[in-house]
């Protein structure tokens, strides 16, 4: 079928390509003229036959809000907008209501698969009406992987909610592997750490795509010495925790994984300054001062246990 | 090759079977005479040609200690003992030293694969000398899965250390899925929760064997209503945390997963009694008393937010 | 000075009393006619001389929204509203803006002290303009405790933000005591647990008002056997975590304390059903089924270690 | 009474001084001849009249083991040894048994109070027999603070167990204050953070000695800019967690506080390298490489949200 694709970055560009390979007619728009098929969003809309289908694949937040608002002005009754980005599910509900006022349909789709999706297909979690989902089926069928990586999760918002929780689980799994690796390296009982991870790909309980990817990373850099211990978060981990707090659901693993990322971005932990200050106050414990020198003692980074004769 | 197998339970029995299918000659001993090939451990040893190979597959702790001590008395120089159970790696080092005094070799093997191992093979993590590992290669080759689920992880103890960390990672991954499921169920935005998990098996970042198993469980019981929220721990999660504490490695996710299991086994949280007592002391907050009645107010389980007019 | 007090519950009633004892003229309104001085909010407003001061002490959320909206209609330019409840700081900013449109001032005050405040005074954290705070000083001076339990924390919202963080810290401290108590009871090395807590009131690093209160609770019920391990949360712990997530601040202790409360209110952990289901799938581990019976094995609540011969 | 004091560091020296001020006769030994009253441990023993009392106040672990072993050789039946250091309670039980073989008594005492103990007294938690405790009462009475900071916690080991849990609680409380401070600073809603903490000293639920000390620290350095976010741990936090794991007691707050200290000592988180590696593998997410440059994108430390168009 004919589809407009707004946003031709790493994700949108590859998805447009996969759709074309699958026989669909894709008109792509990107603000970068070098990759765009048309000079403006208006031209994109004009180039599609009604009823139109426009897939939005731009960053969540203001860029998506702006794109959907513009589309609301440009499109007509009976057209259909899909938000395939990483929007918050609450925003979907707003966007859906906004477009519905003009008789324009709205479907939110959580998309997983990263840079591998072009070849392997994209896992899709969709939220919207039965009718809109059915109408989009040819598109979903082309994008999704073999097997059945598609779910109609529920009403508008449910697609991104599912994707949000998927990412929360992903945070927890990644951190579980990360902690296991750190312990293996620190304890130095296992001498072949990369070989151990490689062996786990077969027959174990923890075999998984993330493990496959980690073994791939270790093949390139066996002790990860080229990397900094620093990780961004994409927003969905935060939303997962906030949704959990709202619903009184305890989420210790996913939250710990999120906090580990927060902490990894702090060159110096503010909270630990307080702990250092308190230790100094009550115990005369040495503290590591800014100058790198130590205020009052033998306490030194790297030593595992506090200095003698300080009893708190 | 010829091998003695001590312990013919769910794991040992299936491993003996897989070895036989692979052309090995297995003599099995179990204290349960119905499944045992020989009446005693001594008979097992006597029935093997020197140099003997005896694989021990009994519960960790006292049963393994006792078996290895007995084997130390029954076996001769040049024989070889494998501990394939879930022993603590520190115990391996003791067992290895104990047997070495008599010239008997020792290899520890962490085994993963559960009830699926008979058909799929068992992931194996081995600790011991290069020579002992080479000698056992025919056995490992038969037991391990297609691909290469075998690693010589290091010296004696390294096999079980690797398995211990594997299980720690497993705890974290399981809890990540568990938290995701709980949030999806509680928020009720996604209407097709089992379908969502099923769809994640293809193309997503979190696809994994554990996800496959979870989808299998949901097929049998879509809302898990037949189960209690109660989970044992097998010792290896605890050892992982204790090893981490010893090495000053922060393990927030794996520890949270372990603590969630501890908490699941408490009919009533002792710590929360303290919190309830304190809330009552400073705020006159209602508390849930043993009788199920409420001491002083309208505070009730199920309500999400504290009663009005109580300001702490 | 003259002040109107809206909400005469446990907090508002005692505060009105403390203000009267301090020589202020208080007109109180409560929807419960038995404790109210006037029949309606309008009568309260009419009974005050301009410029009026009205302190709102009703539950956060809809009751506070409604009260402030009504006051906005009833009051006049130059009047001043104080929200002393547990409102979210974001709501304060809305309320302040709403009242400012009519020239009515607004101050938010976080109040701590619970049922002890009448005698000991209330700790006060205020947010608002310098002028409004100065105008209210006589009231603050009477309400606050000896010493100096008052802070002008910042602009509108800052008072409740400070109180929110205070409560977050409180959650962490309470949980720390709670965990210590649980461990002492479980380990049974210390024979005199109440005596140990009592001794800690003097000379230790952890001496605190919460410890005093806990000793008081243990004096009444030495093993807390009259209580259920169940604790509500008042909203402020949740907001603390949500604010932290928004600002990428890792808050492991406060979040853990909040989650422990969430978990205490679940008769059966949904997440743990998933863990049980997975253990059953891969290991044939026994699970505790709804009927209280055990599906397939010897695994039983109370036993500390998993059953023999199950290797995962 | 007459008492020998072994170890005259920050703690032992002050305790000897407080005992002398209280009228006791103290003979002190330290390996540092400048502060020692006698040239050797043998001379200390020789200078005391039987039945002797020797208080050991040296670092836990090998120094304490060695001192107690030597004392076992030098002392006689009816003498009494006190370990007032930070020993592990399991070691106490060994030391007690070792000395009991020669008819020498043993009492373990957990001591809290830090550098403030000389003036304020030391909180004491004692483990040992009723008779030994009674015999030492004059010493305890002088050392302990006003009020009653003394408890006979149980048999040998119970004193240090109680102190261990005290320190675990202390970790949790310190981290709670630390997190609250970090959030207040990060959110920047409260403009007077030191003033807010100062105000909390009166009338709030969280008033405590640690809060007093923190306010003292903020008076010296209002934004803690002189300190590094780095904190040691003294061993007792670790033992608390290990004891909890052994007894299947969930300890999320105390463990989180311990892990925060571990993490504060890592210049670069090893676990986070794994997370960064995985993000790079599946999403082409930019990673922060060792060279400080960024491998493939716009992702930068300090930015809160991941770069656009990367959908995982």
What whole-number distance in Å separates Cα of residue D51 and Cα of residue B262?
48
Q: Quick one: pLDDT at residue D122?
A: 96
Q: Quick one: pLDDT at residue B291?
A: 46
Residue D292 has pLDDT above 60, yes or no: no
**D255/B259 touch (CB, cutoff 8 Å), yes or no:** yes
Helices (H), strands (E): how many in chain D?
A: 13, 7
Nearest to A255 by CA among B180, C168, C248, C252: C252
Residue pair D301/A229 in contact by the 8 Å Cβ criterion: no
DSSP conformation class of D115:
G
Q: For residue A245, what is the nearest residue in chain C, using CA coordinates?
A: C238
Residue A8 has pLDDT above 70, yes or no: yes
**A204/B166 touch (CB, cutoff 8 Å), yes or no:** yes
**A176/B253 touch (CB, cutoff 8 Å), yes or no:** yes
DSSP structure string for chain B:
-EEEEE--SHHHHHHHHHHHHTT-EEEEE-SSTTT-SSSSHHHHHHTSPSSPEEEE-S-TTHHHHHHHHHHHHH--TT-EEEE-S---HHHHHHHHHHHHTTT-EEEEEEEE-GGGHHHH--EEEEES-HHHHHHTHHHHHHHSPTTT-EEEEESTTHHHHHHHHHHHHHHHHHHHHHHHHHHHHHH---S-HHHHHHHTTTTSTT-BHHHHHHHHHHHHSTT-TTB-S-----SHHHHHHHHHHHTT---HHHHHHHHHHHHHT-SS-HHHHHHHHHHHHHH----BBTTSSBSSSS--TT-SSPPTT---
Residue C184's contacts (CB-CB under 8 Å, 6 or more residues apart) are: C190, C193, C196, D161, D162, D165
C-alpha angle B204-B210-B212 in degrees, rounded to nearest 5: 65
CA dihedral B14, B18, B24, B30 (to 10 degrees): 0
- Contacts of D among chains (3+ CB pairs under 8 A): A, B, C
Residue keyed to tokens 């500390």: C304
Q: Quick one: pLDDT at residue B68?
A: 98
Query: For residue range A188-213, what is the model confidence (pLDDT) as tens digits?
Result: 999 999 999 999 999 999 999 999 99
Partners of B251 on chain D (C-beta within 8 Å) are 259
Residue A291 has pLDDT above 50, yes or no: no
Catalytically active residues of C are 163, 170
Lowest mean pLDDT among B95-104, B160-169, C258-267, D303-312: D303-312
**DSSP-assigned beta bridge partners for residue D54:** D4, D81
Share of chain D above pLDDT 70, in %: 91
Q: For residue D239, what is the nearest residue in chain B, using CA coordinates?
A: B245
Q: Quick one: pLDDT at residue D296?
A: 32
* Distance separating the N- and C-terminal Cα atoms of chain C: 73
Give me the interface pTM, i.e. the ipTM: 0.91
Mean predicted confidence (pLDDT) in A271-286: 86
Lowest mean pLDDT among A83-92, A153-162, A175-184, A286-295: A286-295
Identify the band that residue C298 occupies on the pLDDT scale cut at 50, 70 and 90.
very low
Share of chain C above pLDDT 70, in %: 91
- Contacts of C among chains (3+ CB pairs under 8 A): A, B, D
Residue D37 has pLDDT above 60, yes or no: yes
Q: Tell me how many residue pairs between chain A and chain D have CB atoms under 8 A apart.
A: 297
Q: Quick one: pLDDT at residue D288?
A: 60
- Contacts of B among chains (3+ CB pairs under 8 A): A, C, D
Identify the band that residue A308 occupies on the pLDDT scale cut at 50, 70 and 90.
very low
Q: For residue B232, what is the nearest residue in chain D, using CA coordinates?
A: D248
Interface residues of chain C, partner chain A, Cβ below 8 Å: 205, 233, 238, 241-242, 245-246, 248-252, 255-256, 258-260, 262-263, 265, 271, 282, 312
C-alpha angle C280-C282-C286 in degrees, rounded to nearest 5: 25
Partners of D210 on chain A (C-beta within 8 Å) are 278, 282
**A256/B253 touch (CB, cutoff 8 Å), yes or no:** yes
Q: Quick one: pLDDT at residue D297?
A: 31
Q: Quick one: pLDDT at residue D115?
A: 81
Catalytically active residues of D are 163, 170
Nearest to A143 by CA among A4, A20, A57: A20
Q: For residue D233, what is the nearest residue in chain B, using CA coordinates?
A: B248
What is the average pLDDT score of chain A?
A: 91
Q: Quick one: pLDDT at residue C114?
A: 80
Identify the band that residue D148 occupies on the pLDDT scale cut at 50, 70 and 90.
confident
**B241/D245 touch (CB, cutoff 8 Å), yes or no:** yes
Query: For residue range D8-18, what is the model confidence (pLDDT) as tens digits?
Result: 998 999 999 99
Q: Quick one: pLDDT at residue B49?
A: 97
What is the average pLDDT score of chain C?
A: 91
Q: Quick one: pLDDT at residue A2?
A: 98
Residue keyed to tokens 């304190």: B278
Residue keyed to tokens 């103890």: B157
**D210/C206 touch (CB, cutoff 8 Å), yes or no:** yes
Q: For residue B211, what is the nearest residue in chain C, using CA coordinates?
A: C278
Query: For residue range C220-235, what is the model confidence (pLDDT) as tens digits?
Result: 999 999 999 999 988 9
**B245/D238 touch (CB, cutoff 8 Å), yes or no:** yes
Q: Quick one: pLDDT at residue B111?
A: 96
**A262/C246 touch (CB, cutoff 8 Å), yes or no:** no
Which residue from B250, B263, B312 is facing D263, i.e. has the nearest CB? B250
Which of A119, A163, A291, A296 is the catalytic position? A163
Torsion sign, CA atoms B75, B78, B84, B90:
positive
pTM for the whole structure:
0.92
Identify the band that residue D290 occupies on the pLDDT scale cut at 50, 70 and 90.
low
* Strand order from edge to edge, sheet including A53-56: A25-29, A2-6, A53-56, A80-83, A105-112, A123-127, A150-154
Q: Quick one: pLDDT at residue C234?
A: 81
Catalytically active residues of B are 163, 170
Which residue from D242, D260, D265 is facing B245, i.e. has the nearest CB? D242
Query: For residue range A211-254, what is the model confidence (pLDDT) as tens digits?
Result: 999 999 999 999 999 999 999 988 999 999 999 999 999 999 99
Q: Quick one: pLDDT at residue B147?
A: 85
Torsion sign, CA atoms B210, B211, B212, B213:
positive
**For the purposes of burial, counting CB atoms within 10 Å of the CB of A212, is it exposed (0-12), middle (13-18) or buried (19 or more)?**
middle
Mean predicted confidence (pLDDT) in C126-144: 98
**Minimum distance, in Å, between the CA of residue A240 and any CA atom of chain B:** 8
Residue D194's contacts (CB-CB under 8 Å, 6 or more residues apart) are: D215, D218, D219, D222
Query: For residue range C39-94, what is the model confidence (pLDDT) as tens digits?
Result: 999 999 999 999 999 999 999 999 999 999 999 999 999 999 999 999 999 999 99
**DSSP-assigned beta bridge partners for residue B294:** B288
- For every residue of chain C, which 3-state class applies, written as one string? CEEEEECCCHHHHHHHHHHHHCCCEEEEECCCCCCCCCCCHHHHHHHCCCCCEEEECCCCCHHHHHHHHHHHHHCCCCCEEEECCCCCHHHHHHHHHHHHCCCCEEEEEEEECHHHHHHHCCEEEEECCHHHHHHCHHHHHHHCCCCCCEEEEECCCHHHHHHHHHHHHHHHHHHHHHHHHHHHHHHCCCCCHHHHHHHCCCCCCCCEHHHHHHHHHHHHCCCCCCECCCCCCCCHHHHHHHHHHHCCCCCHHHHHHHHHHHHHCCCCCHHHHHHHHHHHHHHCCCCEECCCCECCCCCCCCCCCCCCCCCC
Per-residue pLDDT tens digits of chain B, which is 312 residues long:
999 999 999 899 999 999 999 999 999 999 999 999 999 999 999 999 999 999 999 999 999 999 999 999 999 999 999 999 999 999 999 999 999 999 999 999 999 988 889 999 999 999 999 999 999 999 999 999 988 899 999 999 999 999 999 999 999 999 999 999 999 999 999 999 999 999 999 999 999 999 999 999 999 999 999 999 999 988 999 999 999 999 999 999 999 999 999 999 998 999 999 999 999 998 766 555 554 433 333 333 332 323 333 334
Partners of A150 on chain B (C-beta within 8 Å) are 199
DSSP conformation class of A4:
E
**Minimum distance, in Å, between the CA of residue D265 and any CA atom of chain C:** 16
Which residue from C205, C259, C312 is facing A312, i.e. has the nearest CB? C205
What whole-number distance in Å separates Cα of residue B175 and Cα of residue B210?
11
Domains, chain D: 2-156 (3.40.50.720), 163-264 (1.10.1040.10), 268-299 (no CATH)
- For every residue of B195-219, which 3-state class applies, written as one string? HHHHHCCCCCCCCEHHHHHHHHHHH
Q: Quick one: pLDDT at residue C284?
A: 67
Which of A77, A170, A191, A246 is the catalytic position? A170
**B172/A176 touch (CB, cutoff 8 Å), yes or no:** yes
**Minimum distance, in Å, between the CA of residue B312 and any CA atom of chain D:** 7
Task: Give phi and psi for D262, each to the nearest 5.
Answer: -55, -50
- Ramachandran region of residue A40, left (φ > 0), alpha (ψ -120 to 50) or beta? beta
Residue C292's contacts (CB-CB under 8 Å, 6 or more residues apart) are: B228
Which residue from B231, B279, B282 is facing C272, i.e. has the nearest CB? B231
Q: Quick one: pLDDT at residue C32?
A: 96
Mean predicted confidence (pLDDT) in A103-120: 93
**For the purposes of burial, counting CB atoms within 10 Å of the CB of A20, is it exposed (0-12), middle (13-18) or buried (19 or more)?**
middle
Residue C255 has pLDDT above 60, yes or no: yes
Q: For residue D249, what is the nearest residue in chain B, using CA coordinates?
A: B262
Q: Quick one: pLDDT at residue A284?
A: 67
Residue keyed to tokens 């509500």: C232
Mean predicted confidence (pLDDT) in A265-284: 91
**A112/B184 touch (CB, cutoff 8 Å), yes or no:** no
Mean predicted confidence (pLDDT) in D49-68: 97
**D205/C165 touch (CB, cutoff 8 Å), yes or no:** no
**Minimum distance, in Å, between the CA of residue D166 and any CA atom of chain C:** 7
Query: For residue range C179-208, what is the model confidence (pLDDT) as tens digits?
Result: 999 999 999 999 999 999 999 999 999 999
**For the purposes of burial, counting CB atoms within 10 Å of the CB of A11, is it exposed (0-12), middle (13-18) or buried (19 or more)?**
buried
Query: Does the bond joining A62 to the residue before it have cis omega, within 30 degrees of 0?
Result: no
**B259/D250 touch (CB, cutoff 8 Å), yes or no:** yes
Q: For residue C170, what is the nearest residue in chain D, using CA coordinates?
A: D206
Partners of C205 on chain A (C-beta within 8 Å) are 282, 312
DSSP conformation class of D312:
-
Which residue from D85, D217, D282 is facing A311, i.e. has the nearest CB? D85
Residue C290's contacts (CB-CB under 8 Å, 6 or more residues apart) are: B225, B226, B227, B228
Q: Quick one: pLDDT at residue B113?
A: 83
**C172/D169 touch (CB, cutoff 8 Å), yes or no:** no
What whole-number distance in Å separates Cα of residue C124 and Cα of residue A60?
40
């Amino acid at each position: 079928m004919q589809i407009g694709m707004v946003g031709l970055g790493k994700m949108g560009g590859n998805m447009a390509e996969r759709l074309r390979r699958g026989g669909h007619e894709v008109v792509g728009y990107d603000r970068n003229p070098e990759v765009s098929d048309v000079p403006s969003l208006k031209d994109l809309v004009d180039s599609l036959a009604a009823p139109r289908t426009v897939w939005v694949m731009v960053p969540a937040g203001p860029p998506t809000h702006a794109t959907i608002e513009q589309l609301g002005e440009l499109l007509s009754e009976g057209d259909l907008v899909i938000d395939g980005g990483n929007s918050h599910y609450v925003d979907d509900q707003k966007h859906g209501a906004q477009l519905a006022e003009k008789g324009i349909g709205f479907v939110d789709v959580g998309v997983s698969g990263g840079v591998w999706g072009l070849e392997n297909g994209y896992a899709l979690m969709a939220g919207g009406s039965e009718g809109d989902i059915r109408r989009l089926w040819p598109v979903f069928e082309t994008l999704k992987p073999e097997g059945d990586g598609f779910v109609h999760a529920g009403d508008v918002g449910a697609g991104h909610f599912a994707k949000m929780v998927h990412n929360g689980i992903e945070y927890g799994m990644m951190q579980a592997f990360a902690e296991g690796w750190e312990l293996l390296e620190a304890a130095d009982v296992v001498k072949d750490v990369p070989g151990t991870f490689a062996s786990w790909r077969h027959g174990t309980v923890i075999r998984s795509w993330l493990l496959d990817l980690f073994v791939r990373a270790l093949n390139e850099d066996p002790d990860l010495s080229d990397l900094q211990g620093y990780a961004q978060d994409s927003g969905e981990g935060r939303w997962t925790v906030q949704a959990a707090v709202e619903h009184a659901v305890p989420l210790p693993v996913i939250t710990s994984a999120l906090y580990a990322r927060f902490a990894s971005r702090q060159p110096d932990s503010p909270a630990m300054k307080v702990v250092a200050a308190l230790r100094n106050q009550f115990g005369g414990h040495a503290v590591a001062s800014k100058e790198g020198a130590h205020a009052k003692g033998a306490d030194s980074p790297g030593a595992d246990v506090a200095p003698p004769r300080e009893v708190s």
